[in-house]
Amino acid sequence: MCGIAAIFSCFGNITSGDIQRMDKGILLQHHRGPDATGLFSNNHVVLGHNRLSIIDLSENANQPFYRPDLGLKIIFNGEIYNYREIRKELIQRGFEFHTDSDTEVILLAYKAFGKDVCSKFIGMFAFLIYDEKENSIYVARDRFGEKPIFYISDEKGKIYLASELSTLASIYPDELLI
């Protein structure tokens, strides 16, 4: 089990307050992933991740995971059971891998198959992919919601999401009534 959290701004108005709240939010969900904690931010997005290492135990698979050649970042919670088969298919299509993680498989499968990518996956998952070039996000979870993702948006064009409601409440700047 890992923990993910994000703030996405449609208008590029991420603030230092957003980053500070994310720091607190990922601390709240540390129990979801004690092996590594990662944070990335720019003007459009703040990505937070707590990692429980299961498949690729190396630091190369820490998150947020970034492929600069593609301009894509991902935060992921879950496990893709058929990632080896998808990886083989992607290698046959000419994709190169830098890790042995299912996280990288998701990212490259998204590049190959676009928004239809989830139909390829057998597993339990929740993830967010941030496309730096398009300044867009793609958020998905497994069909049954085994790996939850909670979200809310505000009138300022920001979207907040997290693996747990307590984390969502801590990164959202206003009172969140549940």
Over the range 11-39, which residues count as b (16 or more CB within 10 Å of their CB) and which as e?
eeebeeebeebbeebbebbeebbeeebbb
Two structure tokens written together for 84: 């080896």
State the catalytic residue, choosing from 2, 5, 46, 106: 2
Phi/psi zone of residue 123: left (φ > 0), alpha (ψ -120 to 50 degrees), beta? Answer: left
The burial of 134, by beta-carbon neighbours within 10 Å (0-12 exposed, 13-18 middle, 19 or more buried), is given as: exposed
Helix H or strand E encompassing 3 = strand 3-9
2 included as an active-site residue: yes
Supply the residues annotated as catalytic. Answer: 2
